[in-house]
Amino acid sequence: MTDQERAAAVEAILDGYTQEELEAAFRVVANPEHWKKAIRAIVPATQAEVTRRAVIHFTGSVPTFTPCPNGTQVEVVAAGYYAAIGA
């Protein structure tokens, strides 16, 4: 496998986002007590998709998004890593 093929495979796994983009999005929503705990945060609505991919990537749990009354933000809620693995 060439470096270019490897990079394409990694990008496909990350659903078009870079590891750095996913890490940045996850830092915004990660539980401040421990990243493996449940997630509840507010993010800009424009960041919902990268946040969704980041939460799935790092925790294995699938987040839900609820629009906030201001129309520009969403609340993201996810079970977190511990719940996803049954701990």
pLDDT tens sequence across 6-54: 666 666 667 789 899 999 999 999 999 999 999 999 999 999 999 999 9
Q: How far apart are CA 72 and CA 11, in angstroms?
A: 28
Per-residue confidence band for 72, with pLDDT thresholds at 50, 70 and 90:
very high
Instruction: Look up residue 73 and give its DSSP letter.
Output: E
Q: Which domains does the chain have, with CATH numbers?
A: 3-85 (3.10.28)
Q: What is the pLDDT of residue 87?
A: 86
pTM across the whole model: 0.85
Work out the number of other CB atoms within 10 angstroms of the CB of residue 76. 23
24-28 contacts, C-beta under 8 A, 24 or more apart? 25/50, 25/51, 25/53, 25/54, 26/51, 26/54, 26/55, 26/57, 26/58
- Residue 10 phi, psi dihedral angles, 5° rounding: -65, -45
What is the CA angle 33-36-42, rounded to 5? Answer: 65
